[in-house]
Structures are given as structure tokens and as C-alpha cells.
Structure 1
Amino acid sequence: MSAPSDSRPSARTLDIIRQLVAFPTVSRDSNLGLIEWTRDFLARRGVPLRLTYDAEGGKANLFATLGEGPRPGLVLSGHTDVVPVDGQDWTLDPFAPEERDGRLYGRGAADMKSFIGTALSWTDDFLAAGLDHPIHLALSYDEEVGCIGVRGLLRDLREQGLQPAGCIVGEPTGMHAVVGHKGLAGYRCRIRGREAHSALTPQGVNAVEYAARLIVYIRLIADRLRQLESRHYGYDVPHSTLNTGLVQGGIAINVVPRDCEVIFECRYLPSTDPRAVLDEIRAYAERELLPEMRAVAPEAAIAFEQIADLPAFDSDAAAPMTRFAQALADSRAAAEDEGRGRYVAFGTEAGLFQRAGMATVLCGPGHIAQAHKPDEWIALSQIAACEQFMGRLAQGASGFGAVGPTPSP
């Protein structure tokens, strides 16, 4: 493929991106239309690939291998699902992409079908390049609802004995190499008390009230982290945070509620262990709350369940994978990033690839500020910069030879 201009990508790349955006792959729905289109696109070129499905068979990951080589390969990773458009004030059809004033509009244009489409557009070049390592394409489902699909993809690779050396996750970073984001641990706490008529309140155990005490304690830990935790000023919020996002309990004003459910999260710095935070919350419940509850109702209980586990991503500016991505990126972005690490506030699949032993970096076209909102868009110049990135990769840009598998933590 000929190199794009600095401001406009090739017609072929734009056509592929438009086709991907046109698939309404909202996380609650199937992504098979997009996956099967991609499967057929690659199969026509003789590319070996694997699909891994969810339990119901309505969603799938795709893992393809472009070329061969004596060294472990490089993964280009993207998620196929997008967030809903319900209730948003769009001025155009979110799944009928439109080009206006140097921008491409449509749900997923920024997050992150432009990266996937650009990588697919360079398939023939990767196949013809004769690289000494394969290029792998990894497309996942349900990233937006907890990075669910990629876990099955990684498990399948492990079972097949496949261990790529590195991974570029193409989330929208403005084509800057990003080396870190916080982790997310989400928990559900179910509190069981004892029902009673509100006129006989002392005979019951009010699950909502004990939930309130637990929530206050969670807030106290959050305040302590804000005041005392070591800072990481690469992040907008330079410390770990706790948030109680959902509380449900009770059936009527004149009934002492037996049950209450609390859902809370910890967004933690890579240096913080979320298990220690949960252990402290659980210890408080067992030490302070349960004895009081069981003095009235021996059957009372407090149970914690983890419902989200998105590990932190933590690399550095000097890592070979970071420097390799900087060498591939737009020269201006690479110059700005030289010698320093960039961090983002949002979570990605990068920590899971890193946990699987791959040297990982975030680098992709567009900006997160343009994603998840009405009239989502990406600048055509960003897609062009991503094409230049892929072009350097197809030309065998130096640096990947220094990247080796990362030992799993």
C-alpha cells in the first residue's frame, strides 16, 4: 500500500473502517456479523485464524496470524464491542458512518474500530513483508463491560502453547505510547439481617442500616488513601479511589429490611494491592458488624463477591516495547513522548495481556475524549498517522528484536 498523506488516510482503509462501524456491536448484542466479515476478509488471503465463542455462541473473539518467522510474534489488539447509543442526542445515524470536515463520525470510530480497520487494511503488506516474526490480530468481545472476551482468547492461546512476545493495544491515545493505567476491582456485598414489623424494630436486624455503616467505613478508607497513599502524578487522580455505586435494599417503610446489596469499586494504582483493601473492609464487617447482628439474629450474614477484575497496566518509558511503539508512531508524538511515560485514566485489556506474559503498550488513533458520546468521531489525520505506524511495521521497523516475553506475575 502506498503511504498516506499526513492528513488523509487511504480510501481502502476508510472503506474498511466504515464497514466495521456499520456493524452495531453494542456489548449487549452479538458481534458475530463483524467477526464473520473479518474472518472472510482474512480467509480470502489464506490467513490462519481461530475463533473462540462465549458460552451461548452469540459472540466470538478472533485471533489471526499473518506471516511466519523464527521469533515470537507481535499482537495488534482491539475490542469489537461499543457502548450503547440509547438516550444520546445523535445528529446522525451512529451506525452509518459519515465523513465531515476532516472527521469520520460513528459509534466506535474512535473507540476503537479505526485501529482495527487500519490493521486489516495493511494485511496484504504484512503478508508480503517477509518479517522475521508474525503479526497477530486479536479481536475481542465485551471489553466495554469488564474485558470479558479477551480472557477466553488468552486462555485459548495458553492451551495452544502460543506465546507472542509483545502486544500493541490500539485504544485511542492520539498515537502516543501509553505505559500505564489504574486497575479496577469491583465487589458486591450482600447483607442478610432479620425482618420485623417496624413497630417491633428491636426484634429485627436492619440490613440497610448495617450496609450504611459499611459504606461509611469504605469512605473512611477512601479518605485515608487520598490523604496518605504515595502519589503517582502521571494520573489525573494521583491516588487510588473507592466508590460505592449501587445500594439496593428494603421492601416497605414499615418493614425492617432483611436484605441489602452494596456494589462498590476500587480503582487502584499499580503499586496498590486491592485485595488488601477488601481484606480490611471484610475484617471490619466481621469484627464490628456481624457480632452485633448475630446477637439478635444468629442467621445474619455478610458476604463479599468480586464481580470485576481489571488488572492495572504498568510499564515504563524505557521498556523496549514502549520504545518500539514510539519508533513506529508519528514522529511528532514520538518526539513528545521521548524519555517519559504517558498514562491514561481509563481501563483497557493491556493489563491482561501483560499478565499473560507479553510486553505491552497502548498506542492507537483518536482520543478518548471523543468516544462514548453523541456524534463520536475521529480525525482523519489520526487514521493517517495510524497508517504510517502500520507502514513502518510492515517495513520491518527496528526495535522489536529487543522485545522479549514478560514473565507472568
Structure 2
Amino acid sequence: MTDITRTLEILDKLVGFPTVSRDSNLDLIDWVQNLLQTAGFDVTRIWSPDRTKAGLFARIGPGVDGGVCLSAHTDVVPVDGQVWTRPPFQLTDEGDRVYGRGTTDMKGFLASALALAERARKTPLSAPLSLSISYDEEIGCVGIRQMMPDLKQLIGKPRLVIVGEPTSMQVATGHKGKTALKGTCHGQAGHSALAPQFVNAVHVAADFVHQIRQLQDQLAAGPHDDAYSIPYSTVHIGKITGGRALNIVPDSTQLDMEFRHLAQTPAQDIQREIEAVAHQVSRAYPSVTPITVETINAYPGLNIDPSDKCVAWADTLASHFGRTKVPFGTEAGFFAELGLKTVVIGPGDMASDGHKPDEGLSKTELRACDAMMDNILVS
């Protein structure tokens, strides 16, 4: 049985850093950088634009090409409003499970990777081993996008990039891309006693929402990928804000929305459809400013050919737990856009533990992750 003692020690330390995305991760980064440098890695710190956060790129071994790059993010989602029965920022060990914020998403994988880093110092390597450690993944893969200009210069051409999001140690070959948008519907302010004389921005927004629901029906009838639980591209409106007071006709309404797209449905195609809906609805209200649609953030999807040799190698490294595609986004698409073979493999299950109170991780899966790391070490 794989000994995970050191991995658990590192995980205990990582969970103890409350690296919620809204806060700095620098205490964790300082600790991890020291561990990696002590293990003999060349380490580069990549600062966020405001220098309140940072990521790391680290490498050990011969050359810069070949080998494996392990990718992890350091931030976690908040615990505010959740009812925990265990301390969220302290690792709790209970038999075959450990609990704490980030154990599954995704400090368990990072702990396993750092334990591997320590073992790598004592092992002659035939190819380089590298780690990419980011920040602000949980708010839309913001950190990795900011790090990319530096990573392009540092990463070389690893044979395989493994992004360690939770997949129950299956090899994930794909996920959808996502674009977040802000729609603004305009109207005319006026006294509510005379409401019919004015254009109500909430009514404009309601028309827009109705048309977006029809667009969703079109997407559901379009391209499918049955590897996903929702096998088609989706569009979603998550928040509507409008109006100032009950007795004032609203002159502005904002909609926070997103779409998640299959690889065979380019993001720009869906965005054009949404903009066409905005134009169509606006034509019915010629006396006010047309609806505007602004891109807030986006990240690429992942779709690697399952017959690619690197996927078969990933199967071997992960001891053949199976293959999947995941419904959530990851940083994998950014590495794939660099032309790098990239898969997602990690311990834990997002559906049962990700972002939930009493987030936990099975020691059995952590052992499987450590076993994969051992396979990487001797590959």
C-alpha cells in the first residue's frame, strides 16, 4: 500500500492556509517556494498585477523539454454561509477520509505533487519534472491567464501536462469552455403613476431573457457530445439587477450571464447569437439605447483526441481508472492553446465534495494519486 504520510503532512499545512480567492495566497506561496527550492528545483515566482498574489513555476531534471508538468491552483472558494461540522481551515483526519476546505479542490493533488517534488531530489531523472502553481482559478481562471506570458517563456515542451482537478483519478480528455457576459438593458426613468408613458428597462430585460431561453432550446437541438451529463452547449442568466424604487420606472437593468460551449461550437458563434438576440429585442424599443453585451471573462475548453498516444500514456500513469470528460472548467485549455498535450487527472469527486461544507477526500484516492506520482518519477 502506498505510504501517504508525507502527502498528508503537506496537505495539513496547505489546508491551514485560508487561501480564499478574495484574499492573498502569499503565505502559502512562500512556504511552497521554500519547499521546492529545498528540494532542488529552479523556482520562478510570477506575481499578480497588483502583487497581492503570486504563482510559481518550478523545474528539476535535465533540459526543458519532455517529461511531465503538474498544474495546480492554490485558491479555494469561501466558506461563508456554509454550515461546517469540522474546522474548514484545519485538516481533520477521520479513518479513510480527511476533511478541510480545498482537500478535493485541489490541495490534495498539490500536496501529492509537492511530496513527489521532495522524492525527485533523490532520484536520477531521465526527463524534467515541472510544476505550475497558480492563483485565482476559482473566479474564472484569472490567475493562469495573467501568468501565461511568463509561462510561455518558461514551460518548454513537456510531453504531458496534468491538471490535477478532481476526476476520481480518471483521465479527463475534455471540458467545455466558458464566457461570462454582462448585458445591460436601457429604459426611461419616470413616475410609476405614468408608467405606460415610459420604457421600463425591466420589461426590456424580460423580453431579452425570453429570447435567450429560446436560444437555449436551439443549442440543445444542436451539436452534442454524450460524454457530458449535459451533452450540448448552454446559456445561463444567473443574476438580474434593476430598478431604484417601486415608484420609479427603471431606466437600467443588468444581467449577469454565461455560456458554456462544446469544442465543436466555437465561443464566437454563440456570442454572435446572443448579440443578435440583443439587437432583435432592441429594435422593439427604438426610443432608448440598444441592449449592450460586454465580455467579462472567458476561458477555453479542452478537447484532446482520445486516440492520442499521450492519453494512453496518461492512462498508464494513472493506473487505468478509466476516462471521462468533466462538466466544470479547468486551466487545461490554456496549456492546450500552447500546443501542449494536456489532460485532467486528480483525486476526489467534484459532485460530492467540491465547494461544499465539510469538503473531504478519500485517502484511497490520495494513495492512487501518490501512486501516479511514483509512476511519473520512474517514467
**TM-score class, shorter:** over 0.9
Q: Which residue in the other structure is 2:339 paired with?
A: 357
**Offset of 1:133 from its aligned partner?**
2.2
Counterpart of 1:267 in structure 2 is 260
Q: Residue 126 of structure 2 is aligned with which of 132, 146, 161?
A: 132
Q: Which amino acid in 2 is paired with 1:176?
A: Q
Q: Answer yes or no: is 1:55 the counterpart of 2:49.
A: yes
Aligned to 1:72: 66
CA distance in 2, matches of 1:161, 1:366: 27
Task: Measure, in 2, the Cα distance between the counterparts of 1:196 and 1:104.
Answer: 58
Is 1:116 the counterpart of 2:116? The answer is no
Q: Relative to 1, partners in 2 of residues 1:381 and 1:252: Cα closer, same or farther, differing over 3 Å?
A: same
Structure 2 Cα separation of the partners of residues 317 and 159 of structure 1: 28
User: Which of residues 277, 280, 283 in structure 1 aligns to 2:273?
Assistant: 280
Displacement of 1:124 in angstroms is 3.4
The percent identity for this pair of structures is 39
Distance in 2 of aligned mates of 1:70 and 1:20: 28
In 1, Cα distance between the equivalents of 2:249 and 2:35? 60
What does residue range 166-185 of structure 1 map to in structure 2 within 5 Å? 166-185=160-179
Residue aligning to 2:294: 305
Distance 1:170 1:373 in 2: 19
Residue 16 of structure 1 is matched in structure 2 by 10
Aligned counterpart, 1:372 = 355
| Distance of aligned partners of 1:211 and 1:70 in 2 relative to their CA distance in 1, 3 Å threshold | closer
Q: Which runs of no fewer than 5 residues in structure 1 stay unpaired?
A: 397-409
1:8-407 map, 5 Å:
9-69=3-63, 71-159=65-153, 162-226=156-220, 228-286=221-279, 288-294=280-286, 296-297=287-288, 300-331=289-320, 333=321, 337=322, 341-368=323-350, 369-396=352-379
- C-alpha distance in 1, partners of 2:182/2:239? 9
Q: Secondary structure at the match of 1:188?
A: strand
2:238 is aligned with what amino acid? Answer: G
Range with bigger deviation, 105-114 or 150-159: 150-159
Q: Aligned residues, how many?
A: 378
Aligned AA (1:108): G
Is this contact kept in 1: 2:41–2:60, CA < 8 A? yes
- Conserved 8 A contact 1:115-1:365: yes
Hey, what's the Cα distance between the residues in 1 that align with 2:248 and 2:177? 39
Displacement of 1:374 in angstroms is: 1.4
Counterpart-to-counterpart distance in 1, 2:24 and 2:330:
20
Distance 1:95 1:325 in 2: 32
RMSD, aligned α-carbons: 1.8
Q: Per-residue deviation at 1:180?
A: 0.9
* Partner AA of 1:102 in structure 2: D
What is the DSSP-based 3-state SS (H/G/I as helix, E as strand, rest coil) of the residue aligned with 1:301? Answer: coil
- SS in structure 2 opposite 1:15? helix
Q: Deviations over 1:295-345 (max 9, x none)?
A: x34xx23221111212111113222221111111135x1xxx2xxx41111
Distance in 2 separating the partners of 1:95 and 1:346: 24
Shift of 1:202: 4.7
What CA distance in whole angstroms lies between the structure 2 residues aligned with 1:127 and 1:217?
59
Residues 328-376 of structure 1: CA deviation (Å, up to 9, x unaligned)? 1135x1xxx2xxx411111111111111221100111122122211111
Letter in 2 for 1:48: D
Displacement of 1:289 after TM fit?
3.2
Separation in 2 of the partners of 1:147 and 1:232? Answer: 24
* 8 Å contact from structure 2 (residues 205, 253) kept in 1: yes
Shift of residue 165, structure 1, vs aligned partner = 3.9
User: Residue 317 and residue 159 in structure 1: after superposition, are their counterparts in 2 closer, same or farther (change >3 A)?
Assistant: closer
Query: Which stretches in structure 2 are left out of the alignment for 5+ residues?
Result: none
1:70 is displaced (CA, Å) by 6.6
Give the secondary-structure state (helix, strand or coil) at the position aligned to 2:208: helix
Q: Deviations for 1:353-404, whole angstroms, at most 9, x for unmatched residues? A: 11122110011112212221111111111111111111111112xxxxxxxx
* Letter paired with 1:91: T
Range with bigger deviation, 200-209 or 72-81: 200-209
Per-residue displacement from partner, 1:203-234 (whole Å, max 9, x unpaired)? Answer: 432211111111111100101222x2132111
